[in-house]
Structure 1
Amino acid sequence: MSDIRVLTAAERPIPPEGVLALYAEAGWWPERTAAHVEKILSAGPAVGAWDAEGVLAGFARAVSDGVCRAYVEDVVVAVSVRGQGIGRRLMDALGAELAGIDVVSLFCGDDLVPFYEASGFTFTGQRIAHKAAASA
């Protein structure tokens, strides 16, 4: 296994620029800025995976009321270290941060169902709806 350390945001602050780099590599959220990510990081539990040089190599976060519900968001691992169990370690660490919350939910593409099932998630037939903010 690689020399990657997974730490909570409380143990090691996660830099917005590192998260933006992971988003960019994954092709996610090009509209997000460092200010957006800074606000996101202050709003809920997050964990980071750090390589031996101190570079953020993975990230996961959740949105939660802290008691009844949590929603897992933005689980991402750098391409250069995928396939080494880092995603699982991120999910384990985030799960520990969410311990005691009644229901933890997420949504993902079909290709990731086995990964999340291995982390204890059960997929239902529920439908997901989104309402995007109106553009200016």
Structure 2
Amino acid sequence: MDFELDDSLDRVDRDVLWDFLSSQAYWSRWRSRDDLERQLAGAWRVVGAYERPGGRMVGFARAFSDGVASAYLADVFTVPEARGHGVGKALVRTVIDEGPGREFRWMLHTDDAHGLYRGFGFAEADQTYMERRPSGSRAQPTAGGVEG
């Protein structure tokens, strides 16, 4: 599969993004489409992968950051038919290693693709990491389906 990467928010196919995140991604089924639009508007960087020829979006990654030292990688995915062609690896590399975030401390939460992320230097957190999770109606399901 031949593809190109583009960091233009205007080019992101919101229908493909919504379809994947609302039906196939364990980490984001709780979001509304309005939530997704707000996340896109507030993103520090987005990168889409687009099939050549044709321009169909086949992958996506989003990051938010303080713009100085820290960033969070989110919503990385490739559509099923694009898997195994290096799309995910190219997306992660572009977001974290190319451009203004290459010197940032990067974080992410994931229940899958650990090998991919380890290849970019990600490691399990140590005792210095803490997290506060929301309760009630905004509680986000974890990978196993248990709300945290």
TM-score band w.r.t. shorter chain: 0.7 to 0.9
Contact map agreement 1:66 1:101 (CA 8 A) in 2: no
TM-score (norm 1): 0.81
Report deviation, 1:61: 0.7
Give CA-to-partner distance per residue, 1:7-39, whole Å, 9 cap, x none. 1125x5213222112212335523333322221
Contact map agreement 2:77 2:88 (CA 8 A) in 1: yes
Cα distance 1:133–1:50, how it changes in 2: closer, same or farther (>3 A)? farther
Task: Summarize the alignment of residues 104-115 of structure 1 with structure 2, pairs less than 5 Å apart.
Answer: 104-109=106-111, 111-115=112-116
- For structure 1, the 5+ residue unaligned runs are none
Separation of aligned partners in 1, 2:3 and 2:33: 24
Cα distance 1:51–1:69, how it changes in 2: closer, same or farther (>3 A)? same
Aligned to 2:47: 47
Cα distance 1:32–1:65, how it changes in 2: closer, same or farther (>3 A)? same
- What is the count of residue pairs matched by the alignment? 133
Separation of aligned partners in 1, 2:20 and 2:75: 10
- For structure 2, the 5+ residue unaligned runs are 139-148
Cα distance 1:105–1:98, how it changes in 2: closer, same or farther (>3 A)? farther
Contact map agreement 2:68 2:104 (CA 8 A) in 1: yes
Identity of aligned residues (%): 26
Report deviation, 1:100: 4.9
TM-score (norm 2): 0.76
Q: Match of 1:72, as an amino acid?
A: L
Separation of aligned partners in 2, 1:4 and 1:46: 16
